Structure 1
Amino acid sequence: MARYRKKPVEVDAVQWTEAAPMRTLTDFAGGLVILNDVDRDFRVYDRLHDTWVAFEYGDWIIRGIRGEFYPCKADVFAATYEPVKV
């Protein structure tokens, strides 16, 4: 078995919280989201896999290197990503 390290790749991401305006996520994902706050049914469209992926409050929505969108749990995001100085 060989070991591998993830290549350093910069991504854009936004965290979905109860305080976040829906417009922020809608604009970020280019409208490819379903935000039903009443039923707490939140989904983002993953173009790469041609499917809608569920997410919940606290999750980060990431725009991948191919323009795809996918959710990531906050603890995994914190362990995997760090802010980039611009």
Structure 2
Amino acid sequence: MPSVTMRRKRPVTVRTLLWTGLNQEEMREFCGGAFRVIVPKGPSQDSRITAEVFDELHSTWVGVYTGHHVVRGVRGEFYPIDETVLNETYEPADSDT
């Protein structure tokens, strides 16, 4: 049976863009078109989700809250991340890295 191991995230530089709820064209350009604004479809859907980004790595649309950052990952995938988690996981990097 496999044992639990400890892992540390390698230092990588990623690009992020804050979804303000008003910058949909900028988000679409950043995500290469894999971004769409949505309207919640009833009580079964989280009403805080105002957009979706396509995560190509997992072949699925992922909900984005206004105020979340969208990250372009190391394999070109896109995913949302809350600002608190972003700040705990990543530190600012120079724009030329």
TM-score (norm 2): 0.77
How many percent identity over aligned positions? 38
Structure 1 gap segments, 5+ residues each: none
Structure with bigger gyration radius: 2
Structure 2 gap segments, 5+ residues each: 41-48
1:39-79 per-residue CA deviation (whole Å, 9 max, x = no partner) reads: 55310000000000001111110011111100011110011
How many residues are treated as equivalent by the alignment?
A: 84
Partner of 2:43: none
Q: Does 1:76 align with 2:78?
A: no
Partner of 2:30: 28
* RMSD of Structure 2 on Structure 1 (CA): 1.6
Partner of 2:44: none
TM-score (norm 1): 0.86
Distance in 2 between the 1:52 and 1:70 partners?
Answer: 9
Q: 1:65 aligns with which of 71, 74, 92?
A: 74
Partner of 2:46: none
